[in-house]
């Protein structure tokens, strides 16, 4: 009997250690104030069983439409500060889920360089978020890299690398950006995240020491949520975060169905079995190097996994 107890104790210890070792560590950099899917992606990363969320940085979502249109979603574009909106939503989510312990520095308010491009000597925006990336990256190495997940423009990472070039080799960057023709192997930078800071995108693409994973828009768009089903599921939980996620749907005029672009990337990172990776080259106008491209996702598996994780989060909060 004593030997059995010892064996069971060893097995239990192994299971606990393995579970801890399997946790994925990363920083999320998100333009949370823009639409809706960022909120769901961030909440998915609050799962303590699978994730060690090392930081949550806010990102701007400046684009020309903010100058020409009077409204952006529910926001008036007059004197709009997109970074401030993202920071506000980040802090709200952290508060609602009692996760304020996670560092949440604000990122850059504007793009790298200028609207006509970036060149040596051009402006490099600075922020607490940039400082945080640099500080964290210096604790890592090419053998054990810092994972950074960008759900919006890659401004903060590009600014960090320009400020401290030696950290590039210590970072593994996951980004939702551009479109990619899987048959022709051709890139298209005509996408929201890419256009919000084309300079920053070119900078990270040209960093030969930076390990890069990209999920293109036409791949992540396969993951959709139905409004009626989502509202029904969220209504089961009477708390602030569920109400926030529910209300957000109408606040951004999401309609009857919404693409969960950002959640698709988080799920692909946490569950590699839900996605297909292939190697490809950077766009021809950039330094030619091999990067990693998500070419396919299992949207059904991702959808089920989100609600499973959300249920666990709700139990932990109660």
Q: Could you read off the pLDDT of 28-68 as tens digits, one per residue?
A: 999 999 999 999 999 999 988 899 999 999 999 999 999 99
Write the DSSP string, 101-145: TS------SS-SSBTTB--TTS-----HHHHHHHHHHTT--SSSP
Give helix then strand counts, H and E, for the chain. Answer: 13, 13
User: Which domains can be identified in the chain, with CATH numbers?
Assistant: 21-317 (3.90.245.10)
Q: Which residue has the tokens 């919000």?
A: 196
pLDDT in the model for residue 3: 52
Neighbours of 7 (CB within 10 A): 10
Residue 197 token pair = 């800071």
Q: Distance of CA 6 to CAs 3, 10, 16, 20, Å?
A: 5, 6, 15, 21
* Residues 85 and 75 sit within 8 Å (Cβ to Cβ): yes
* Average pLDDT along the chain, 318 residues, taken 10 residues at a time: 44 39 90 97 94 98 94 92 98 97 98 96 97 98 98 98 98 98 96 98 98 98 98 97 97 95 98 98 98 98 98 93
Tell me which residue of 139, 123, 75, 129 sits closest to 106, measured CA to CA. 129
């Amino acid at each position: 009997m004593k030997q059995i107890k010892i064996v069971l104790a060893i097995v239990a210890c192994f299971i606990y250690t393995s579970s801890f070792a399997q946790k994925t560590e990363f920083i999320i950099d998100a333009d949370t104030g823009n639409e809706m899917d960022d909120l769901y992606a961030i909440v998915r990363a609050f799962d303590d069983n699978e994730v060690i969320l090392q930081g949550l940085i806010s990102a701007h979502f400046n684009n020309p439409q903010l100058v020409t249109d009077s409204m952006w979603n529910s926001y008036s574009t007059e004197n709009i500060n997109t970074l401030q909106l993202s920071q506000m939503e980040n802090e709200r989510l952290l508060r609602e889920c009692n996760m304020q312990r996670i560092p949440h520095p604000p990122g850059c308010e504007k793009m790298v360089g200028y609207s006509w491009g970036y060149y040596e000597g051009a402006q490099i925006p600075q922020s607490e978020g940039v400082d945080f990336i640099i500080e964290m990256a210096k604790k890592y190495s090419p053998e054990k890299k810092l994972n950074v997940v960008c759900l919006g423009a890659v401004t903060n990472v590009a600014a960090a690398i320009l400020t401290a070039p030696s950290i590039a080799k210590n970072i593994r960057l996951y980004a939702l950006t551009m479109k990619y023709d899987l048959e022709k192997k051709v890139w298209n930078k005509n996408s929201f995240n890419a256009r919000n800071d084309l300079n920053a995108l070119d900078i990270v693409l040209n960093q030969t020491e930076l390990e890069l994973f990209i999920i293109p828009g036409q791949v992540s768009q396969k993951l959709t949520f139905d409004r009626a089903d989502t509202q029904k599921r969220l209504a089961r939980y009477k708390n602030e975060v569920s109400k926030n996620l529910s209300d957000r749907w109408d606040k951004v005029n999401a309609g009857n169905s919404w693409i969960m672009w950002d959640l698709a990337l988080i799920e692909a990172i946490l569950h590699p079995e839900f996605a297909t990776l292939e190697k490809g080259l950077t766009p021809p106008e950039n330094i030619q190097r091999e990067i990693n491209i998500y070419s396919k996702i299992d949207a059904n598996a991702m959808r089920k996994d989100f609600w499973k994780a959300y249920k666990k989060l709700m139990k932990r909060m109660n």
